[in-house]
Amino acid sequence: MTAKPLGTALSLLFLALPGVLGVPTISCRNEEGAAVDWFVFYKLPKRQGKDGGETGLGYLYMDPSTRSWRRSEKLMNTNRSALGWTLQQLYEAYPSKSNNTAYVMYNDGIPKSSNYSRKYGHTKGLLLWNRVQGFWLIHSIPGFPPIPEEGYDYPSTGRWNGQNGICITFKYSQYEAIDSQLLVSNPNIYSCSIPATFHQELVHIPQLCSKSSSLKVPGRQLTTLQSAQGQNFLHFAKSDSFLDDIFVAWMAQQLKTHLLAETWRRKRQELPSNCSLAYHVYNIKAIKTARQSYFSSYQDHAKWCVSRKGTRNRWTCIGDLNRSPYQAFRSGGFICTQNRHIYQAFQKLVLYYEDCN
Ligand SMILES: *[C@@H]1O[C@H](CO)[C@@H](O)[C@H](O)[C@H]1NC(C)=O
Ligand SMILES: *[C@@H]1O[C@H](CO)[C@@H](O)[C@H](O)[C@H]1NC(C)=O
Ligand SMILES: *[C@@H]1O[C@H](CO)[C@@H](O)[C@H](O)[C@H]1NC(C)=O
Ligand SMILES: *[C@@H]1O[C@H](CO)[C@@H](O)[C@H](O)[C@H]1NC(C)=O
Atom of ligand 1 nearest to the CA of 33: 13
Of the chain, the percentage scoring pLDDT greater than 70 comes to 91
DSSP string for 83-135: HHHHHHHHHHHGGGT-TT-EEEEE-SS-TT-----TTS-S--EEEEE-SSEEE
pLDDT of residue 13: 42
Name which residue leads in pLDDT, 211 or 356. 356
On the question of pLDDT at 8 being above 80, the answer is: no
On the question of pLDDT at 338 being above 50, the answer is: yes
pLDDT of residue 269: 87
Per-residue pLDDT, averaged over 177-204, amounts to 96
On the question of pLDDT at 49 being above 90, the answer is: no
Ligand 3 neighbourhood includes 200 CB (under 6 angstroms):
no
pLDDT of residue 292: 79
Q: Are 225 and 268 in contact (CB under 8 A)?
A: no
Q: What distances in angstroms separate CA 261 from CA 59, 167, 192, 216, 347, one per listed residue? A: 20, 20, 32, 31, 11
On the question of pLDDT at 21 being above 90, the answer is: no
On the question of pLDDT at 132 being above 90, the answer is: yes
115: CA distance to ligand 3 center in Å?
6
| For ligand 3, atom 5: residue with the closest CA | 115
Per-residue pLDDT, averaged over 3-18, amounts to 44
On the question of pLDDT at 16 being above 50, the answer is: no
8: CA distance to ligand 1 center in Å?
36
Q: Mutate which of 112, 115, 120, 188 to test ligand 3's pocket (most atoms within 8 Å of Cβ)?
A: 115
Q: Is the peptide bond before 155 cis (omega within 30 degrees of 0)?
A: no
Residue 300: DSSP 8-state: B
Q: What distances in angstroms separate CA 4 from CA 29, 45, 281, one per listed residue? A: 34, 56, 55
On the question of pLDDT at 297 being above 90, the answer is: yes
Atom of ligand 1 nearest to the CA of 78: 1
139 is catalytic: no
State the Cα–Cα distance between residues 42 and 97, nearest whole angstrom: 32
Name which of 67, 70, 77 is nearest 46 in CA terms: 77
Ligand 1 neighbourhood includes 85 CB (under 6 angstroms):
yes
Which tens digits make up the pLDDT trace of 135-184? 999 999 999 999 999 999 999 999 999 999 999 999 999 999 999 999 99
Average pLDDT, the chain: 91
Q: Which of 13-22, 129-138, 344-353 has the lowest mean pLDDT?
A: 13-22
Q: Which of 53-67, 76-90, 236-250, 314-328 has the lowest mean pLDDT?
A: 53-67
pLDDT of residue 96: 82
Residue 290's pLDDT band (boundaries 50, 70, 90)?
Answer: confident
pLDDT of residue 45: 93
Q: Which of 116-120, 196-200, 219-223 has the lowest mean pLDDT?
A: 116-120
Q: Which of 82-96, 149-163, 205-219, 294-308 has the lowest mean pLDDT?
A: 205-219
On the question of pLDDT at 2 being above 50, the answer is: no
On the question of pLDDT at 34 being above 80, the answer is: yes
Ligand 1 neighbourhood includes 79 CB (under 6 angstroms):
yes
Atom of ligand 1 nearest to the CA of 151: 5
99: CA distance to ligand 2 center in Å?
6
Ligand 1 neighbourhood includes 88 CB (under 6 angstroms):
yes
pLDDT of residue 50: 54
pLDDT of residue 82: 98
